[in-house]
């Protein structure tokens, strides 16, 4: 929360929703009449059926565009919402920030009548992304430190389904792996400003890795090494949609009938 109170300014500019990723989230929420968006930030990927957004950072709330769902300043671990008050609870790229994941997930399960949808990432896949693997291993370590392990999440949400969210080559959203086919973008400090994975890695380590990237771009080595990537429309860099139906096994509180 403090991170976003300090660096949330300008977040809405760097993080614009990508329509193809938005479509996958919308599909995951298909049929849900009311949605609570938890850790909602500025409202990226917030579906039209959102009735409330929960967000702890005032700076983020202040950047929510007019017309987005009403925002309540609160944390996932203690949701100010009644039990089974919404069809679905949505949490996009936020669970890794929660101070008590178990409690936050229990709260999602408490408030959602029908479905929980979480967008997160599998750091074991992300670490193979060329930028992290070959240029910024320190950022790969940061990423691993930040991430919620997918098997831990699956253990906490028995019965959940996990599906890949491919990143298009021209992804509009400016998150860390968005520029996988536009490597020059990583040399632009304005592009990097929206990437918490880099902001939380030692400046020297980032600078050294980017110097090597610049050299490889100038010499043509990057284009030669990663030629295969240039033909791909999208790739799996580890983003995952985790969906839990209310009636999945392990949902002990599922008692309406
Ligand atoms: C990477 S942003 C994602 C925001 C938005 N969901 C999106 O996709 O653009 C992470 C958000 O989680 C929020 N956050 C941090 N700790 C939280 C907590 N304990 N409960 C709920 N949200 C939290 C941050 O303030 C921030 O807005």
Which of 139, 135, 138, 140 has its CA nearest to residue 125?
140
Task: Please answer whether residues 153 and 223 qualify as being in contact, where contact means their C-beta atoms are separated by less than 8 angstroms.
Answer: no
Average pLDDT (122-137) is: 97
Atom nearest to 98 CA in ligand 1: 19
Q: Which domain holds residue 134?
A: 2-245
Query: Looking at the domain assignment, is residue 53 inside a domain?
Result: yes
Query: Looking at the domain assignment, is residue 74 inside a domain?
Result: yes
Q: What is the DSSP letter of 65?
A: P
The pLDDT score that the predictor gives to residue 135 is 98
Rg of the chain (C-alpha set): 19
Closest residue by CA, ligand 1 atom 10: 94
Q: Rounded distance, CA 119 to CA 167, Å?
A: 13
Query: Looking at the domain assignment, is residue 9 inside a domain?
Result: yes
Query: Looking at the domain assignment, is residue 254 inside a domain?
Result: no
Q: Is the pLDDT of residue 14 over 70?
A: no
Longest CA–CA separation in the chain, Å: 65
The Cα-based distances of 136 to 210, 211, 234 in angstroms read: 8, 11, 22
pLDDT in tens, 75-115: 999 999 999 999 999 999 999 999 999 999 999 999 999 99
Which residues, other chains included, contact 51 with Cβ-Cβ below 8 Å and sequence gap of 6+? Answer: 34, 35, 36, 69, 86
| Number of domains observed in the structure of the chain | 1
Among 6-10, 22-26, 100-104, which is the least confidently predicted range?
A: 6-10
Average pLDDT, the chain: 91
Identify which has the larger pLDDT, 250 or 64: 64
Pocket of ligand 1 contains residue 92 by CB under 6 Å = yes
Pocket of ligand 1 contains residue 94 by CB under 6 Å = yes
Closest residue by CA, ligand 1 atom 22: 39
Query: Looking at the domain assignment, is residue 250 inside a domain?
Result: no
Q: Rounded distance, CA 105 to CA 76, Å?
A: 8
Single pTM value for the model: 0.90
- What distance in angstroms lies between residue 147's CA and the mean position of ligand 1's atoms? 14
Query: Looking at the domain assignment, is residue 177 inside a domain?
Result: yes
Which of 199, 209, 150, 149 has its CA nearest to residue 176?
199
The pLDDT score that the predictor gives to residue 248 is 54
Q: Rounded distance, CA 247 to CA 255, Å?
A: 9
Q: What share of the chain is helix, strand, coil (3-state, %, to 5)?
A: 40, 15, 40
Query: Looking at the domain assignment, is residue 253 inside a domain?
Result: no
Identify which has the larger pLDDT, 16 or 240: 240
Q: Rounded distance, CA 75 to CA 242, Å?
A: 20
Pocket of ligand 1 contains residue 76 by CB under 6 Å = yes
Q: Is the pLDDT of residue 146 over 60?
A: yes
The pLDDT score that the predictor gives to residue 211 is 98
Closest residue by CA, ligand 1 atom 19: 98
Q: Rounded distance, CA 91 to CA 104, Å?
A: 10
Query: Looking at the domain assignment, is residue 190 inside a domain?
Result: yes
CATH number of the domain where residue 227 is located? 3.40.50.150
Per-residue confidence band for 244, with pLDDT thresholds at 50, 70 and 90: very high
Tokens encoding 20 = 């193809």
Average pLDDT (20-33) is: 96
Mutation pick for ligand 1 pocket among 8, 46, 94, 103 (CB with most ligand atoms within 8 Å): 94
């Amino acid at each position: 929360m403090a991170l976003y109170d300090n660096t949330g300014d300008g977040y809405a500019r760097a993080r614009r929703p990508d329509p193809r990723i938005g479509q996958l989230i919308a599909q995951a929420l298909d049929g849900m009449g009311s949605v609570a968006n938890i850790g909602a930030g500025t409202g990226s990927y917030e579906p039209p059926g959102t009735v409330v957004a929960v967000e702890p950072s005032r700076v983020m709330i202040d950047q929510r565009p007019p017309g987005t769902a009403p925002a309540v300043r609160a944390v996932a671990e203690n949701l100010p919402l009644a039990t089974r008050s919404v069809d679905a609870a949505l949490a996009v790229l936020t669970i890794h920030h929660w101070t008590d994941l178990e409690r936050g997930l229990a709260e999602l399960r408490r408030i959602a009548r029908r479905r929980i949808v979480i967008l997160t990432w599998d750091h074991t896949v992300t670490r193979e992304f060329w930028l992290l693997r070959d240029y910024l291993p320190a950022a790969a370590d940061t990423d691993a430190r930040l991430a919620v392990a997918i098997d831990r999440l699956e253990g906490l949400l028995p019965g959940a389904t996990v599906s890949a969210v491919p990143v298009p080559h021209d992804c509009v959203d400016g998150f860390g792996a968005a520029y996988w086919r536009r490597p020059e973008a990583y040399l632009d400090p304005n592009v990097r400003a929206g990437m918490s994975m880099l902001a939380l890695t030692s400046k020297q380590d980032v600078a050294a890795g980017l110097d090597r990237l610049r050299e490889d771009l100038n010499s043509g080595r990057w284009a030669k090494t990663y030629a295969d990537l240039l033909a791909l429309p999208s790739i799996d860099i580890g983003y995952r949609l985790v969906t839990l139906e209310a009636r999945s096994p392990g949902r002990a509180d599922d008692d309406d009938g």
